[in-house]
């Protein structure tokens, strides 16, 4: 039986992982704490660790896992910017879930957009207090507007289909354009200048970090709506705040945030939030923040668990080639 230290475990994780893991002989040690320098010792006696986006898997943690006899790092996410994959090469395999439900993330992005521009969140709060006034709830049509989609992987392509269904014109930017499509690819600068709505769907790299900064915002249309359901650090939060205060940015819909690791996925309602930037963003009437929940559908949770379990079995039991192994890709 393979023993798995499952870090940052949440109640919604357990049913799907137990469903797919138990028949394959996996025994989980569900841990509420995140993986970091202080908690890595909890993996003692385990064959693998299962980690999420806000766990710290740096060189120190990787070396200590190897010393503890851990044989695999299994990400239950697509993103892996929190893992020092290069340091892991030749020491311990790292696997991920490259796709689980791109529909979930794309649909959440559109839900955020519609909520924002039609003031659904404000109307909901009003009517719960029997306030049926329409003052201040005027929105605008999406039909005929231009959406700029940055990143045309699976999620970006699905959002393009959704946007076209609303009658929107779509501009696309990607360093590696998708083949066999009729997308109108333009330089990033052109996309920023011409889009009424900009949605980010690209990975976080040194090149994309703070791609939405003060200079980028200055290029945008007045009143632009910015969506981010990808990675928080794609946006410079200070620049976004200034853009909102200057009335350049009309609205921001954020499912991710650069400094989310110590805030998101936890109930902080009884605490004073120490992050002043996040507090200011949440307090603004034209900003909607959700706590990295775009992936959270039953379909996605099942796909994540099924793929993660198969990754673990493939690496630790069958010894076959695993297509989702990052360390194999980076070592080539």
Q: Which residues are catalytic?
A: 231, 260, 292
Q: In the chain, where do the E strands start and end?
A: 2-6, 26-30, 48-51, 72-75, 94-95, 146-150, 169-173, 184-185, 197-200, 224-228, 249-254, 287-289
Structural contact between residues 258 and 235, judged by C-beta atoms closer than 8 angstroms: yes
- Residue 323's nearest CA partner among 10, 96, 15, 132 is 96
Name residue 83's beta-bridge partners. Answer: 57
Q: How far apart are CA 6 and CA 20, in angstroms?
A: 14
- Residue 80's nearest CA partner among 108, 54, 48 is 54
Q: How far apart are CA 2 and CA 18, in angstroms?
A: 13
Q: What sign has the CA pseudo-torsion 78, 81, 85, 88?
A: negative
**Degrees to nearest 5, angle at CA 197 with 194 and 201:** 105
Q: Where are the alpha helices (DSSP H) in 75-213?
A: 85-88, 102-117, 120-128, 154-165, 188-194
User: Which residue's entry shows tokens 């009884």?
Assistant: 270
Q: How far apart are CA 321 and CA 267, in angstroms?
A: 40
**Degrees to nearest 5, angle at CA 199 with 307 and 194:** 150
């Amino acid at each position: 039986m393979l023993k798995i230290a499952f870090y940052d475990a949440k109640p919604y994780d357990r049913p799907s992982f137990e469903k797919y893991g138990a028949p394959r002989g996996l025994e989980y040690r569900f841990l509420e704490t995140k993986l970091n320098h202080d908690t890595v010792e909890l993996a003692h006696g385990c064959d693998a660790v299962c980690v999420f986006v806000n766990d710290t898997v740096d060189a120190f943690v990787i070396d200590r896992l190897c010393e503890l006899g851990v044989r695999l790092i299994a990400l239950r996410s697509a993103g892996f910017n929190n893992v020092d994959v290069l340091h892991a090469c030749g020491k311990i395999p790292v696997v991920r879930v490259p796709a689980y439900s791109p529909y979930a993330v794309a649909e959440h992005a559109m839900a955020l957009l519609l909520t924002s521009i039609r003031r659904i969140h404000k109307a909901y709060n009003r009517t719960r207090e029997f306030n049926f006034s329409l003052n201040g709830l005027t929105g605008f049509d999406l039909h005929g507007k231009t959406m700029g989609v940055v990143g045309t992987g699976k999620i970006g392509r699905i959002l393009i289909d959704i946007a076209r269904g609303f009658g929107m014109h779509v501009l696309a930017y990607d360093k590696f354009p998708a083949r066999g499509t009729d997308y109108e690819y333009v330089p990033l600068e052109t996309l920023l200048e011409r889009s009424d709505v900009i949605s980010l769907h690209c990975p976080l790299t040194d090149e994309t970090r703070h791609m939405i900064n003060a200079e980028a915002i200055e290029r945008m249309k007045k009143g632009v709506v910015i969506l981010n359901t990808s990675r928080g650090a794609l946006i410079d939060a200070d620049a976004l705040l200034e853009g909102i205060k200057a009335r350049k940015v009309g609205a921001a819909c954020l499912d991710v945030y650069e400094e989310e690791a110590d805030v998101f996925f936890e109930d902080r309602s009884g605490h004073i939030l120490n992050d002043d930037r996040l507090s200011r963003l949440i307090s603004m009437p034209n900003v909607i923040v959700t706590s990295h929940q775009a992936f959270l559908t039953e379909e996605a949770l099942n796909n994540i668990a099924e793929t993660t379990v198969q990754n673990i079995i493939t690496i630790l039991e069958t010894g076959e080639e695993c297509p989702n192994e990052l360390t194999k890709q980076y070592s080539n």
